[in-house]
Amino acid sequence: MKKEDLKIVYMGTPDFAVESLRRLVEGGYNVVGVITMPDKPIGRHQDTLQASPVKKYAVEHGLKVLQPANLKDNAFIDELRELKADLQIVVAFRMLPEAVWNMPRLGTFNLHASLLPQYRGAAPINWAIINGDKETGVTTFFLKHEIDTGDIIQQVRIPIADSDNAGIIHDKLMAIGGDLVIETIDNIIAGTIKCMPQNEIAAEENLRPAPKIFKDTCQIDWQKGTKRVYDFIRGLSPYPAAWTTLQNGDKSHVLKIFETEKIEERQDLPVGTVIIEDKRLLVSLSDGMLALKVVQIAGKKRMKVEEFLNGFHANGDIKVI
């Protein structure tokens, strides 16, 4: 079968999913439909609807778009069936019911931003960095009942540098993922794929999950030591961003932290003590210090710490909690 004859339905929502769709369109693959989330209400009064990045791209390129609120809705299932897809591709979408993922004759495969079976879940990029991993990657796998557990088709690995944050790794995996989606499709067409059950790998590894991140997840625990706090902050940068409470005398502010620098020098000070010297903002930890580099105080813009300190006035002892 030629790629032009293979009918593909693509499912995705955020920016991460646009790149793979773009590769399909520009590569001349036959995308017969795009499934994405319903438009999202935004604004103070929630009266403006915002299309997902995937929808915006699909509309710009004249692709058929379906936006079901309920993936089990019979009307949606019937409309999806009418597309007669040979293959479905899922990138950063929702959990699919069996009636959807089991529909195409060649199955449904997912692109996941981790080296499965590690980091099953909604936030694999963030958790790999938070945990201080030295490498990550992307995986294509066929969908089955349990989320992120299907047979692995292919994987690509990349290193995580000590200076990388979640935004940098997101963009790298987005590009590499686009390549892998195309390679996986071509191998499916050629009949050369050799899948590996995840349980054959999982039995040999201590598996770490990648649960969804909430605001409380992002609060910094300064008791964890320099390296772990450093990794935590870059694992949540630039979004959703790690945060702490900056206590300045009798005043307190929520402070988001986007970038830091590890300093091995130890101070005989309580953990969380803030030191301001030479236009630097330092936080004392149990085994060293962190120099805060890029921050954002509630109600203000994100800024370099030098700019932040220009408008900062100490009201007594300063600490983070």
Q: Binding site for (6S)-5,6,7,8-tetrahydrofolate: which residues?
A: 114-117
Phi, psi (rounded to 5 degrees) for 222: -70, -10
Cis ω for the linkage preceding 14 (within 30 of 0): no
CA–CA separation, 201 and 203 (whole Å): 5
Helix (H) or strand (E) holding 187: helix 166-190
Query: Which of 97, 118, 73, 105 minimizes the C-alpha distance to 11?
Result: 97
**Eight-state DSSP code of residue 218:** G
Tokens of 252: 């307190």
Q: Which residues pair with 243 in a beta bridge?
A: 219, 256
Query: Which of 55, 210, 20 minimizes the C-alpha distance to 129?
Result: 210
Which amino acids are annotated as binding site, given as ranges? 114-117
Quick check: 123 and 112 in contact, CB under 8 A? no
Rg (CA), the chain: 23
Quick check: 240 and 218 in contact, CB under 8 A? yes
Phi, psi (rounded to 5 degrees) for 126: -60, -50
Query: Which of 229, 243, 200 minimizes the C-alpha distance to 290?
Result: 229
Tokens 């981790």 belong to 114
**Eight-state DSSP code of residue 196:** B
CA–CA separation, 21 and 11 (whole Å): 9
